[in-house]
Amino acid sequence: MAPGASTERGRFPILETICYSRVTSVNGTSSLEGTTQLPSEFPMICCKRVYDPVMASDGQRVLVDRLWPRNTRKEDLHGQWLREVAPSDALRKAFHAGEFDFAGFTQRYQQELAAHPEHWYPLLDLAGKGDLTLLYAGKDTEHNNAQVLARWLEDELERRGPASSPVCYAP
């Protein structure tokens, strides 16, 4: 299937999953890159619609919406639901009402995330152990809270950095 293509299956389109991974270049700089491929050597944080089929490559699946998705049974989730990591009701409603654009939503949501690290910190542990798929119900695959959260988590993982041992100055 070509990038960005979709096929109809039932009432919901099947869209490609967007994943994020830190890519370190030869000179040591890193950048966040979106990809539709799943390289197995790097743990990935992926964003996927909750209506898309469950795949073995999903790793840990976490629903990050405040509202439960329509027509979805809890046993069909095959993961957990962290509703407290989702944007507040006021922010979600204001964005859907068009009070600000996606950049404004992103800024406000990042402020909410910064104010409550206890909500997203468990996701860092899951991402550190392997692939993590953030599930959302919205139709817009590029402008949603899961995309903002995935970038936030990647930034936090980069700030953590790899574990290192202390320097030994013994003669």
pLDDT digits (tens, 9 = 90+) for 83-100: 999 999 999 999 999 999
Query: Is residue 164 domain-resident?
Result: no
| pLDDT (0 to 100) of residue 145 | 96
Domain assignment present for residue 165? The answer is: no
Q: Specify the pTM.
A: 0.73
pLDDT at 73: 92
pLDDT value at residue 150: 96
* Number of structural domains in the chain: 1
Q: Do 136 and 66 meet the contact criterion of CB atoms below 8 Å apart?
A: no
Name residues of the chain where pLDDT drops below 70: 1-43, 162-171
Strand, helix or coil for residue 94: helix
How many helices and strands, by DSSP H and E, does the chain display? 4, 8
84 φ, ψ (degrees, to nearest 5): -70, -15
- Could you tell me if residue 112 is inside a domain? yes
Q: 40-77: buried (b, 16+ CB within 10 Å) or exposed (e) per residue?
A: eeebbbbbbbbbbeeeeebbbbbbbbbeebeeeeeeeb
Q: Which domain holds residue 102?
A: 8-159
Helix 89-96 vs helix 102-115: crossing angle, to nearest 10: 180
Does residue 77 sit within a domain? yes
pLDDT at 39: 42
Residue 44 in any domain: the answer is yes
